[in-house]
């Protein structure tokens, strides 16, 4: 008699909604992700999940809302492997159920939100564009922007390209010390003005 089942048939026959469920492997290593995917496809839910070193497989089930309770000693550190972000999000906005290991009486407590932990990144203003600060939560990615500042404007250093004479205008070229943009300016001839002056032309 052939006792080998396909994943589909094994899950359909042996896994039911409301089951206690546990997987082998260690955090991110040697986890049976194929069977977890099959459970997700077939729709079983409301599991009481047990784990020694839980990881990505539990995280997938929690992320799809298939776990009613989770009992474990350790779940992979999301700051190290980033596989427990759904578990962490559920803890931060969900409930904890405490169960007595002797009599199995239990009670549930709501978990207060921990609040955002925003890290600011400052963008300094430029010559033509304003500055601002972006704040992104290191936990959930929520972000906002504030502290807007005006552009600083150009600060040109001028170079004489052609000197004016009595009847012909000269011109200078300016290069912004902040952004490197260039501009040209006319210098009046001495016949048209008592003293030469600069007039921006571009």
State pLDDT tens for residues 20-79. 999 988 887 888 899 999 999 999 998 989 988 888 888 889 888 888 888 888 787 655
Residue 121: pLDDT band (50, 70, 90) is very high
d(CA 157, CA 53): 64
Report DSSP state, residue 51.
E
d(CA 65, CA 59): 10
Identify which of 164, 163, 160, 158 has the alpha carbon closest to the alpha carbon of residue 183. Answer: 158
pLDDT for the residue 189: 62
Our CA dihedral for 137, 142, 145, 146, rounded to 10 degrees, sits at -60
Scanning the structure block, which residue is given the tokens 């931060």? 92
**Tokens representing residue 25 in the block:** 């492997």
d(CA 151, CA 125): 5
d(CA 18, CA 27): 23
Count of C-beta atoms within a 10 Å radius of residue 6: 9
pLDDT above 60: residue 161: yes
State pLDDT tens for residues 123-148. 999 999 999 999 998 877 889 999 99
Contact (Cβ atoms closer than 8 angstroms) between residue 147 and residue 132: yes
Scanning the structure block, which residue is given the tokens 């001839």? 189
Residue 194: pLDDT band (50, 70, 90) is very low
Q: Which strand ranges, in their side-by-side order, compose the sheet holding 143-149?
A: 118-123, 131-137, 143-149
d(CA 139, CA 13): 39
d(CA 11, CA 103): 31
d(CA 80, CA 92): 18
pTM surpassing 0.85?
Answer: no
pLDDT for the residue 78: 55
Report DSSP state, residue 169.
-
Scanning the structure block, which residue is given the tokens 């596989």? 83
Domains of the chain: 7-110 (3.40.1080.10), 118-149 (no CATH), 156-200 (no CATH)
């Amino acid at each position: 008699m052939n006792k080998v089942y396909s994943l589909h048939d094994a899950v359909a026959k042996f896994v039911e909604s409301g089951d206690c469920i546990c997987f082998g492997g260690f955090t991110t290593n040697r986890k049976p992700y194929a069977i977890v995917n099959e459970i997700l496809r077939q729709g079983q839910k409301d599991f009481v999940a047990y784990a020694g070193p839980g990881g990505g497989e539990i995280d997938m089930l929690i992320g799809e809302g298939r776990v009613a309770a989770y009992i474990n000693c350790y779940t992979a550190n999301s700051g190290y492997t980033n596989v427990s972000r759904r578990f962490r999000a559920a803890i931060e906005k969900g409930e904890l159920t405490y169960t007595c290991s002797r009599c199995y009486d239990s009670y549930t407590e709501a978990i207060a939100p921990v609040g955002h932990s925003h890290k600011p990144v400052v963008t300094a203003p430029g010559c033509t564009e304003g500055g601002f600060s972006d704040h992104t939560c290191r936990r959930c990615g929520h972000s906002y922007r504030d502290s807007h500042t005006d552009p600083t404007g150009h600060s040109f250093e001028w170079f004489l390209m052609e000197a004016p004479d009595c009847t012909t205008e000269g011109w200078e070229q300016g290069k912004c010390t902040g952004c490197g943009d260039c501009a040209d300016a006319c210098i009046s001839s001495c016949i048209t003005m008592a003293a030469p002056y600069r007039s921006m032309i571009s």
